[in-house]
Amino acid sequence: MILRDPGGKRFTALSAAEPTLRALVSHAHSLMKVQRILEGVLPEELAQHLSVANVHQGTLVLNARSAIWCTKARFAAPQILEKLQCISELKGIHQIRIRLDPRTPEARDSHRGQSARHSAAGACVLRETAEHIGDDALKSALHRLASHVGTDAPD
């Protein structure tokens, strides 16, 4: 991601006058710098599938383009961290988190259909558990939950 100065001097003046915008632009520039450093440290095969998402409180967050690259990067994380800590600007990084880039179709699809499936058997277990609970509020909550769950067909 390349930040450009779309308004020329106006953008520069605006960012200088607005502290929030100035901080945002500064953070974006620092992330781009970390991205360039990362690309120089990583094997090319891995570098083309990872991007810097954030650096916060000593944690470098990387986005991976697919689950396979996410897994490969996690396995390589200790070696990546060791290499990054040898670079003076990145000595403060003590942890790397790798996540699937939320912009990829694979990441979006992984969250579809994850609503909980409830069964009559589950409702039965909730009712039985409620019968053995001494706390009336918890017992009542379990019965209410079982009444919502019990409408589904058994597994």
Domains and CATH numbers, the chain: 10-110 (3.30.300), 120-149 (no CATH)
Mean pLDDT of 107-112: 57
Query: At 62, phi and psi to the nearest 5?
Result: -115, 140
Residue 149 confidence (pLDDT) above 80: no
Mean pLDDT of 95-104: 89
Query: 104 or 29: whose pLDDT is higher?
Result: 29
The 95-100 sheet, strands edge to edge: 50-56, 59-64, 95-100
Average pLDDT of the residues of the chain? 81
Dump strand ranges (E) for 40-149: 50-56, 59-64, 95-100
Query: 112 or 119: whose pLDDT is higher?
Result: 119
Residue 152 confidence (pLDDT) above 70: no
pLDDT band at 128 (very low <50, low <70, confident <90, very high): confident
Rounded to two decimals, what is the model's pTM?
0.59
Mean pLDDT of 20-33: 88
Residue 129 confidence (pLDDT) above 90: no
Give the pair of three-digit tokens for residue 26: 């500064």
Find the range with the poorest average confidence among 46-50, 67-71, 129-133, 150-154: 150-154
Q: Where are the alpha helices (DSSP H) in 9-102?
A: 9-17, 19-41, 44-47, 67-84
CB-based burial, 55-73: b 16+ in 10 Å, e otherwise: beeeebbbbbbeeebbebb
